Amino acid sequence: MVCLFSAVSCGSGCHNHICVSVMQIYNRRTGACFEEKEYGAGALKFLYQTFVGRCLLKTIVARPWFSRWRARYQRSARSGKKIVPFVEKYGVDMTAWRGEEFASFQEFFTRAKNYATRAAEQELIAVADSKLAVYDIREDMTLKIKRCVYSLEEILQDGELARKYAKGSCLVFRLSVDDYHRYVYPDAGRCMRSWRIGGELHTIRPISEKYHVYCRNCREVSVLATEHFGEVTQIEVGALLVGKINNHGAKEFVRLQEKGYFDYGGSTIVLLIGEGIEIDEDIRQQSANGIETQVHIGEKIGICKERIGDK
């Protein structure tokens, strides 16, 4: 039996049969949805939905050392032959880099570009080119992402910090392999503290939902005191074949300043915000229907009508 699911869960749980992930993404510019091409769909189904694959996942593939080993090839000159086929297959916009040569696939994948925004200071911006979904944080400090219920304390491994976001929102920026893999700060401010949480490296696709990836994967947490949105927490989450999260470690920063970048693979950034910040209605509506919204760095995604200030 084949189960297709996109905007709404199929309801069967998808645990006892093959489930093909068909991701519907909302394009704000056209007002229409499009179907996302899944990178390595066959390999993911083998790893997550067969006995042999799950054994390999547990013992080898989801281990950080495997991603580091794979990264060696991505940094080699031989990997450069993958660039043109990859750009053509996934329709990567190379306008900003036309005429530029890359020594390896890793160099292409982590390419840099300039950032700009038309958003006003009190407007919240997207921190990455990605597919965005927003989730409400419940009073008991849990939130439901797709079909999994997460404890915020499990994600942060800090109960006191988790309680600060009661009744706030959780923004999940999912970067697929065709997205630009550098990310920025949402506002000017300073970094109050940061830490790394070790773990495994599972895909962030729906096929891995039962693994509770946001509290099992390697991740880096930064608590940021911002000028316009108060205290926010930004979490970079590693994923399958993403062996390294590269943060620049700035203590003070301005809006749109680059915070870091991911090595090769799909990745995710989780942004926790408190009450008083309104996410744009179209993003909220699509999220309520289980559909992610395509956003770009610097794009307005919300607003804080009253300056919260540092806390």
Q: What is the CA radius of gyration of the chain?
A: 19
| Residue 94 to residue 6: CA distance in whole angstroms | 28
* Architecture of the 123-304 domain: Distorted Sandwich (2.70)
- Ordered by start, the domain boundaries in the chain are 75-111, 123-304
Q: Concatenate the DSSP letters of all residues of 61-81 into one string.
A: ITSHHHHHHHHHHHTSGGGGG
Task: Specify the 3-state DSSP secondary structure of 237.
Answer: strand
256 neighbors 298 (Cβ within 8 angstroms): yes
- pLDDT, residue 33, reads 93
- Kindly state the tokens that stand for 72: 């060696």
C-alpha dist (Å) from residue 126 to 129, 260, 285, 288: 7, 14, 17, 19
| Residue 205 to residue 203: CA distance in whole angstroms | 5
- Residues classed as catalytic: 129, 267
- pLDDT, residue 285, reads 96
Q: Give residue for tokens 């919204």.
A: 293
- pLDDT, residue 293, reads 97
Q: What is the mean pLDDT of each run of 10 residues along the chain (311 residues)?
A: 27 33 84 76 59 58 60 84 87 70 88 93 97 88 63 86 92 88 96 86 45 63 97 86 79 98 82 95 95 96 76 44
